[in-house]
Structure 1
Amino acid sequence: MIAIPVETDNGTPMSTKLFGNAKFFALVEPKSKDYTIIPNEGCGNGIQTANYLLEQGASSALYGFLGDGPFHVMVRGGMNVYWLGKETMPLDQAIDTALSETLVHVTTENASLYLDPGTAAGACECGCSHD
């Protein structure tokens, strides 16, 4: 299951830039492209969001802006993490992009190139040690 942060749970959902502050996530079944939109119970805290998505059974996550803390939680939990880019897009386009296998797979080896928490200071504000 692929987790994609989205701005709304109705109308035409759009991907959203911020991972931990996303109000909702679309959980996408890759084979059918069917999705369910769920509220982000960790909203406002990237680490809680990452743990919540793991609890929901997500095996992959897409993001625009993401800090070190949530990234490491997801990777340690066995999730694959992909950089969607910093622009929003309709959910259907984000799903097609994810399934096209053209996204950057962010790993611990290349994370410094692709992680950006999107905060004004440019630094992670999750409060963890990132160990």
Structure 2
Amino acid sequence: MGAYPSSTEMGTEYDAWVGEQASLAGTVVETDPVTITDEYRAGEHVTLQVVGADVDAQQGDRLAVFGVVEEDHTIRALNAYTVPPSNYLYMYAVSFVAGVWVLGRLVRTWRLDWASWSLEPRSTPLRLSNISVWSQETEEPDA
């Protein structure tokens, strides 16, 4: 049904999955042979040797593997791909920028009604010049 065992099932009852297909991901800790590890419970890791993976995995990469579970903590890969650590930095940076953009749009077009604690649309969108300290003209006192 497409419900493959994860690191949790592999870590707790490995022998029950021998001969079955599995889909999991882990951090590459060794490259010859390719070995991945993944935490399945606080402080507990499952370590698997990956055979048959035609990928250029470097230590520290995240390796996703779909394959058949074999004895001795080995998985015979039918498909595998790596995700370099730099991709995570890019993902977080793009997500941060998108979050700031959404927050800006929310503040610009909606306002909080304090009486009912609800969001209401603004009649006119807020502009940066409306809230900027630099745009407010200061009057000079008459001499």
Give the TM-score, by structure 2 length: 0.25
Which is strand-richer, 1 or 2? 2
Structure with greater Cα Rg:
2
Give the TM-score, by structure 1 length: 0.26
